[in-house]
């Protein structure tokens, strides 16, 4: 009995087909064995593949979104992974809506160029919501192995601050120290005065008042 | 059928990962600031946001925690940037309830968040939408937050403010719905920069 579930957002539609895994004790309407999946993204070619590809897609996209919530976008997926996600640097400064995220898919077929898809923030949010629906659907038990969402460490957050801004304070401190030192060196040293001549030895003098008798 | 060999382990349920319950699971001051600012953004997007939050809280089963607007407001006043700021820390149950509430409200407002972030919309229309959102948020910030705090001044700054407001909207869009809870909570618990 073939089952099919669909998850839809404005610019994204995910369909998964599969069968219940009765040997694992799943119900009749629970997909435990994935036979095919298909992801339609508006303005992009349809993606499809096997379970491993869907796992790779989720492993790249969901942690990328996690970092983006903290405003620290960073590339996800190693060069050898079938799916990579990375931010696209802005061509000019500003905060206009633009395709700011790139999904790179390496085909398992030899001699095939990787497929690159660009998303704006809204399309990425649609994709993330589709994948969230899939991973939280009680009718799907595919046992995806996803890294848990965890708080970012301080050094990871620091990357958010541009290097120039991060170095500004220490550089200003060093400059202030250098200027103070230079100014200090320019102040003339007090001229060394000649040592005072040795005072003549004390000679007993007659007291001004006669000694008491 | 021949190529389908992978089956799910019976006990593997990714969605049921337990949340950390250590004292470190409490939100920091910075986390409370962001949480309240995101709730404030929800109010800027939804004119009736305050009432909608109380209604949503009762729908989510938090009626005993937030029975009315005053109780909700009291919890939100743990934000250090508030004019009427309360000292102390919120319990994990309270912050979890607030985050769930935020995710549910973001889900409800997702079409608006999407419009703000989409590059497919005509640029002048997008600019107008942002302008409206910014003016409402600025108004709420001036009304409720302490203008002497650096964080508030940054938010109201014409240069810095739009970038921060966009981060709030982006966080709401990616944290919307039930799936966004863990993502949003982990982000609110980030270490201080």
For A123, which residue in chain B has the nearest alpha carbon?
Answer: B118
At residue A159, the pLDDT reads 65
Instruction: Classify residue B124: in a domain, yes or no.
Output: yes
In terms of Cα–Cα distance, which of B1, B27, B11, B140 is closest to B79?
A: B27
Q: Residue A154's pLDDT band (boundaries 50, 70, 90)?
A: confident
Chain A CA closest to residue B6: A33
Strand A47-49 and strand A3-9: pairing? unpaired
Distance in Å, alpha carbon of B142 to nearest chain A alpha carbon: 23
> Is residue B12 in a domain?
no
Would you call A142 and B117 a contact, using CB atoms and an 8 Å cutoff? Answer: no
pLDDT at A112: 84
- Select the residue of A95, A128, A154 nearest B162 (Cβ to Cβ): A95
Mind telling me how many Å the CA of A157 is from chain B's nearest CA? 6
Is B119 within 8 Å of A120 when comparing Cβ atoms?
Answer: yes
What average pLDDT does the structure give for chain A?
87
- Which pLDDT score, from 0 to 100, does residue B191 have? 84
Kindly list the strands in the beta sheet with A101-105, ordered across the sheet, starting from the edge strand earlier in the chain: A83-87, A101-105, A115-119
- Closest Cβ opposite residue A120 in set B8, B12, B117: B117
**pLDDT tops 60 at residue B134:** yes
Reported as a pLDDT band with limits 50, 70 and 90, residue B1 is very low
Asked if A129 and A119 touch (Cβ cutoff 8 Å), the reply is no
- Asked whether residue B166 is assigned to any structural domain, the reply reads yes
Domains, chain A, with CATH or none: 3-89+97-158 (2.30.31)
Q: Do residues B144 and B80 lie in contact, with contact meaning Cβ atoms separated by under 8 Å?
A: no
Strand, helix or coil for residue B24: helix
Q: What is the pLDDT of residues A110-148, one digit of tens each?
A: 788 889 999 999 999 999 999 999 999 999 998 899 989
Is the pLDDT at B178 greater than 50? The verdict is yes
Minimum distance, in Å, between the CA of residue A74 and any CA atom of chain B = 15
- Say what the pLDDT of residue B16 is: 39
Q: What is the pLDDT of residues B4-35, one digit of tens each?
A: 333 333 333 333 334 444 445 788 899 999 99
Percent of all residues in chain A with a pLDDT value above 70, rounded to a whole number: 90
CB-defined contacts A:B, below 8 A: 143
Q: pLDDT at residue A204 above 70?
A: no
> Which own/partner pairs from A203-209 qualify as long-range (CB within 8 Å, at least 24 positions apart)?
none
Instruction: For residue range A66-104, list pLDDT tens digits in order.
Output: 999 999 999 998 888 899 999 998 877 777 888 999 999
Q: What is the mean pLDDT of residues B101-110?
A: 96
**Count of structural domains, chain B:** 1
Contact B192 A97 (CB under 8 A): no
Using a CB-CB cut-off of 8 Å, the residues of chain A touching B158 are none
pLDDT, tens digit (0-9, with 9 covering 90-100), for B57-100? 999 999 999 999 999 999 999 999 999 888 888 899 999 999 99
pLDDT digit string, tens, across residues B116-132: 999 998 999 999 999 99
Chain B CA closest to residue A100 = B119
| Residue B82 resides in a domain | yes
Question: Which of A23, A124, A149 is opposite residue B183, by nearest beta carbon?
Answer: A149
Query: Domain of B73?
Result: 26-183
Supply the angle between the helices B180-188 and A51-69 in degrees, to the nearest 10. 40
A175 CB burial (10 A radius; 0-12, 13-18, 19+): exposed
User: What pTM value is reported for the model?
Assistant: 0.81
Rounded mean pLDDT of A173-179? 95
Which of A24, A132, A160 is closest, CB to CB, to B10? A24
Mean pLDDT estimate for chain B: 86
Question: Quick check: B174 and A128 CB within 8 A?
Answer: yes
pLDDT digits (tens, 9 = 90+) for B135-151: 999 999 999 999 999 99
In a domain, B4, yes or no: no
Element (H, E) at A47: strand A47-49
């Amino acid at each position: 009995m073939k089952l099919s579930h669909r998850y839809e957002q404005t610019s994204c539609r995910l369909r998964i087909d599969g069968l219940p895994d009765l040997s694992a004790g799943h119900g009749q309407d629970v997909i435990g064995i994935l036979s095919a999946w298909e992801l339609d993204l508006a303005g992009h070619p349809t993606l499809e593949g096997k379970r491993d590809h869907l796992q790779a897609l989720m492993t790249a996209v969901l942690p990328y979104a996690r970092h983006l919530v903290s405003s620290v976008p960073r590339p996800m997926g190693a060069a050898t992974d079938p799916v990579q996600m990375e931010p696209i640097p802005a061509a000019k400064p500003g905060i206009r809506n633009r395709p700011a995220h790139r999904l790179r898919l390496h085909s398992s077929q030899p001699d095939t160029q990787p497929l690159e898809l660009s998303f704006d923030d809204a399309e990425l949010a649609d994709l993330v919501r589709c994948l969230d629906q899939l991973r939280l659907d009680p009718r799907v038990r595919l046992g995806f192995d996803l890294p848990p969402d965890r708080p970012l460490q301080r050094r990871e957050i620091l990357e958010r601050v541009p290097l120039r801004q991060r170095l500004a304070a220490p550089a200003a401190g060093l400059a202030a120290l250098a200027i103070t030192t230079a100014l200090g060196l320019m102040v003339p040293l007090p001229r060394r005065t000649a040592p005072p001549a040795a005072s003549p030895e004390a000679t007993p003098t007659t007291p001004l008042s006669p000694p008491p008798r | 059928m021949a190529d389908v060999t992978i089956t799910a382990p019976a006990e593997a349920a990714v969605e049921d990962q337990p949340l950390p319950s250590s004292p470190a699971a409490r939100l920091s001051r910075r986390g409370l600031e962001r949480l309240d600012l995101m709730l404030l953004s929800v109010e800027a997007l939804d004119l009736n946001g305050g009432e909608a939050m109380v209604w949503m809280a009762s729908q989510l089963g938090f009626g005993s925690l937030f029975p009315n607007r005053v109780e909700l407001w009291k919890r939100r006043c743990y934000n250090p940037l508030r004019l009427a700021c309360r000292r102390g820390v919120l319990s994990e149950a309270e912050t979890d309830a607030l985050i769930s509430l935020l995710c549910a409200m973001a889900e409800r407002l997702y079409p608006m968040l999407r419009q703000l972030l989409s590059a497919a919309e005509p640029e002048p229309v997008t600019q107008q939408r942002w302008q409206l959102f910014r003016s409402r948020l600025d108004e709420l910030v001036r009304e409720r937050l302490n203008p002497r705090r650096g964080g508030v001044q940054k938010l109201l700054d014409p240069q810095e403010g739009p970038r921060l407001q966009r981060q709030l909207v982006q966080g709401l869009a990616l944290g919307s719905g039930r799936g966004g809870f863990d993502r949003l909570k982990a982000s609110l618990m980030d270490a201080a920069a």
